[in-house]
C-alpha cells in the first residue's frame, strides 16, 4: 500500500459519502431559507487576533495557527489561523459592515478546524451549519434558533432528541451564592460531569478545586431545584423562550430547562442550549446561545446576538448508526455503452440527448466487450444501460436495459428518455 496519509482527523469524502451528505446539506439549507435566513460565507482563515481570547483557554489552544509567510515564518511567527467556528467570523463581519440591516439573520454552512485529538464523532475538520440573529435582544431570537434547529433535525428524520436549555447568568448566580463568583468555570466543568461520574464524583472534583463541603451541599440543593437568589428574571426568560418555541412549532417537552448545562465557550452571555440524542453516545449534535458582547469586542459598538450550530459530522454519525440514510444511490442514471466504432456517432448523440433532457448520463470511454461494460455500469450503480449497435442504428432505435429489474427493450430515443424520467 502507498505510504501516504491524510492529515490527522481529516477525511476524504468519496462519492458514497458525498451523495447522502449533499442530500442532508440540501435539506438543512432548505429549512434555513424557509426560516428567512440569508446566506453568508467567510474565508477559511482569519487574523489570529480576531480569534484569540474569544473561546477561553481550552479553545485558544485548539486553534490551528498559520505561520507568517517569508522570514517571519522562519522565526515561527503566526499572524493568521484557520477559523475555529462560524460565530466569531460572523461577529467580525457584522462589526465590519455597519450598513447591514439590523436585525441581521444569516445562515452559513462551512467547515471549521480544531487541533483536537480525534475520536468518535470528532474530527479536526468538520462542517458546521449555523444560523444566527444579530441586533435583537428579544427572546424570540432564541425561540427562532430552537425552532429552526428542531425543524431541520425533524426534516432529516430525527424523532428522539432533546434540547437542554440554561442561562449563563443562572450559573453565575450559583457560583456567587456559594461564595465563588471567580471560580465559575471550574464549578461548571465539575457539575457538567454529573451524569458521567455521579454526585460523589462531582463532590470529589469540587473538593479538589478547593470548594468547601457546605458549598457543595448548597450547590446540589440549587441544582436539584432549590432556590437560587437573584435569578427570577433569567428563569422566567427561559420560560418565555420555551413558550415562544412551542408556538413556533417545537413540540412540547422537547425543550427542557437544565441547570447543569454549561457550554464551554467564553463568549456566551445569556441563554445557552444544546441538542442531544440518547441513542448513540456522541455528545451534542448542536449547540448555541446568546453572545451579546462578542461583536462589541471588534467594533466598540455593542450588538446583541444569538445563534445555533448544527454539527454535520455528528448528525451523520447518528444517521448512519440509526440506519436513517437508506441505500446510497449512484449519481449516474444511465450508462451509455460503446458498442461499435461504426455507431459511435449515434451513441454519442444519444448520450447528448439524454443529458439535454436532464438525465445524469455517463459514458463508456474505453469500449471493449459489452459484458465488461455492463459490469462496469452495474458496479457504478447506474439504473439503466443504453446500447446503440448497428441493428438499433439501422432502425433509428436504442436498446434500453434495466439493470435493476432485468428486462430491456428497443425504443426510440424519445421513448427511452421518457421511460427513464418516469421511473425515478
288 CB burial (10 A radius; 0-12, 13-18, 19+): buried
Nearest to RNA of 8, 69 (CB atom): 8
Query: What is the Cα–Cα distance from 99 to 84, expressed in whole angstroms?
Result: 26
Q: How far is the CB of 59 from RNA (least distance, A)?
A: 6
Cell of 21: 451528505
Beta bridge partners of 46: 81
CA distances from 365 to 216, 312, 373, 381 (A): 72, 36, 10, 17
Query: What is the Cα–Cα distance from 147 to 283, expressed in whole angstroms?
Result: 20
Q: Which stretch binds RNA (CB under 7 A): 25-33, 153-161, 282-290, 294-302?
A: 282-290
Nearest to RNA of 174, 262 (CB atom): 262
Query: What is the Cα–Cα distance from 138 to 332, expressed in whole angstroms?
Result: 48
Query: What is the Cα–Cα distance from 250 to 229, expressed in whole angstroms?
Result: 30
State the alpha helices, DSSP H only, in 97-179. 139-156, 168-177
Q: How far is the CB of 353 from RNA (least distance, A)?
A: 18
Quick one: which of 34, 47, 69, 120 contacts RNA (CB under 7 A)? 120
Quick one: which of 27, 154, 189, 299 contacts RNA (CB under 7 A)? 189
Can residue 309 be called a binding residue for RNA (CB under 7 A)? yes
Quick one: which of 291, 399, 416, 417 contacts RNA (CB under 7 A)? 399
Q: Which stretch binds RNA (CB under 7 A): 144-152, 324-332, 354-362, 389-397?
A: 389-397
* # chain residues binding RNA, by CB under 7 A: 64
Can residue 294 be called a binding residue for RNA (CB under 7 A)? no
Query: What is the Cα–Cα distance from 342 to 159, expressed in whole angstroms?
Result: 57
Q: Considering only residues 221-280, where is the footprint of RNA by CB under 7 A?
A: 262-265, 274
Q: How far is the CB of 1 from RNA (least distance, A)?
A: 5
Can residue 330 be called a binding residue for RNA (CB under 7 A)? no
Can residue 117 be called a binding residue for RNA (CB under 7 A)? yes
Can residue 392 be called a binding residue for RNA (CB under 7 A)? yes
Which one, of 86, 51, 50, 82, lies nearest residue 66 by Cα? Answer: 82
* 32: number of Cβ within 10 Å: 25
CA distances from 286 to 132, 257, 276, 282 (A): 13, 16, 7, 11
Q: How far is the CB of 124 from RNA (least distance, A)?
A: 7
Q: Which residues contact RNA by CB under 7 A?
A: 1, 5-9, 56, 58-59, 62, 85, 114, 116-124, 126, 128, 189, 192-193, 196, 262-265, 274, 281, 283-287, 309, 311, 313-314, 339, 369-372, 374-375, 378-379, 387, 389-392, 399, 401-406, 408
Amino acid at each position: 500500500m502507498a505510504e501516504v496519509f491524510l492529515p490527522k482527523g481529516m477525511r476524504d469524502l468519496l462519492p458514497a459519502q458525498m451523495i447522502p451528505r449533499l442530500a442532508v446539506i440540501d435539506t438543512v439549507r432548505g429549512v434555513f431559507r424557509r426560516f428567512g435566513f440569508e446566506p453568508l460565507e467567510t474565508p477559511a482563515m482569519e487574523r489570529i487576533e480576531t480569534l484569540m481570547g474569544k473561546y477561553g483557554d481550552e479553545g485558544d489552544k485548539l486553534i490551528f495557527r498559520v505561520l507568517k509567510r517569508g522570514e517571519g515564518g522562519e522565526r515561527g511567527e503566526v499572524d493568521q489561523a484557520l477559523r475555529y467556528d462560524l460565530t466569531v467570523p460572523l461577529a467580525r463581519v457584522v462589526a465590519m459592515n455597519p450598513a447591514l440591516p439590523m436585525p441581521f439573520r444569516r445562515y452559513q454552512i462551512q467547515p471549521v478546524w480544531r487541533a483536537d485529538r480525534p475520536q468518535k464523532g470528532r474530527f479536526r475538520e468538520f462542517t458546521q451549519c449555523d444560523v444566527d440573529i444579530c441586533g435583537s435582544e428579544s427572546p424570540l431570537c432564541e425561540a427562532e434558533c430552537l425552532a429552526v434547529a428542531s425543524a431541520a433535525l425533524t426534516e432529516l428524520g430525527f424523532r428522539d432528541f432533546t434540547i437542554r436549555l440554561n442561562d449563563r447568568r443562572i450559573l453565575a448566580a450559583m457560583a456567587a451564592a456559594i461564595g465563588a463568583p471567580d471560580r465559575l468555570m471550574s464549578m461548571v466543568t465539575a457539575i457538567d460531569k454529573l451524569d458521567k461520574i455521579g454526585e460523589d464524583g462531582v463532590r470529589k472534583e469540587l473538593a479538589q478545586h478547593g470548594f468547601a463541603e457546605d458549598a457543595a451541599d448548597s450547590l446540589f440543593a440549587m441544582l436539584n431545584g432549590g432556590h437560587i437568589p437573584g435569578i427570577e428574571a433569567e428563569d422566567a426568560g427561559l420560560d418565555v423562550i420555551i413558550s415562544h418555541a412551542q408556538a413556533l412549532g417545537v413540540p412540547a417537552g422537547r425543550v427542557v430547562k437544565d441547570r447543569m448545562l454549561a457550554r464551554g465557550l467564553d463568549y456566551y452571555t445569556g441563554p445557552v442550549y444544546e441538542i442531544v440524542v440518547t441513542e448513540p453516545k456522541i455528545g451534542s449534535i448542536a449547540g448555541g446561545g446568546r453572545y451579546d458582547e462578542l461583536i462589541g469586542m471588534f467594533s466598540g459598538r455593542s450588538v446583541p446576538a444569538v445563534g445555533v450550530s448544527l454539527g454535520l459530522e455528528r448528525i451523520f454519525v447518528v444517521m448512519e448508526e440509526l440506519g436513517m440514510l437508506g441505500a446510497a444511490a449512484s449519481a449516474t442514471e444511465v450508462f451509455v455503452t460503446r458498442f461499435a466504432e461504426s455507431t459511435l456517432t449515434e451513441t454519442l448523440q444519444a448520450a447528448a440527448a439524454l443529458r439535454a433532457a436532464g438525465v445524469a448520463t455517463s459514458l463508456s470511454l474505453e469500449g471493449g466487450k459489452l459484458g465488461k461494460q455492463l459490469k462496469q455500469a452495474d458496479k457504478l450503480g447506474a439504473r439503466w444501460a443504453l446500447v446503440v449497435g448497428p441493428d438499433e442504428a439501422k432502425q433509428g432505435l436504442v436498446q434500453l436495459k434495466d439493470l435493476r429489474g432485468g428486462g430491456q427493450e428497443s425504443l426510440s430515443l424519445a421513448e427511452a428518455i421518457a421511460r427513464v424520467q418516469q421511473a425515478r
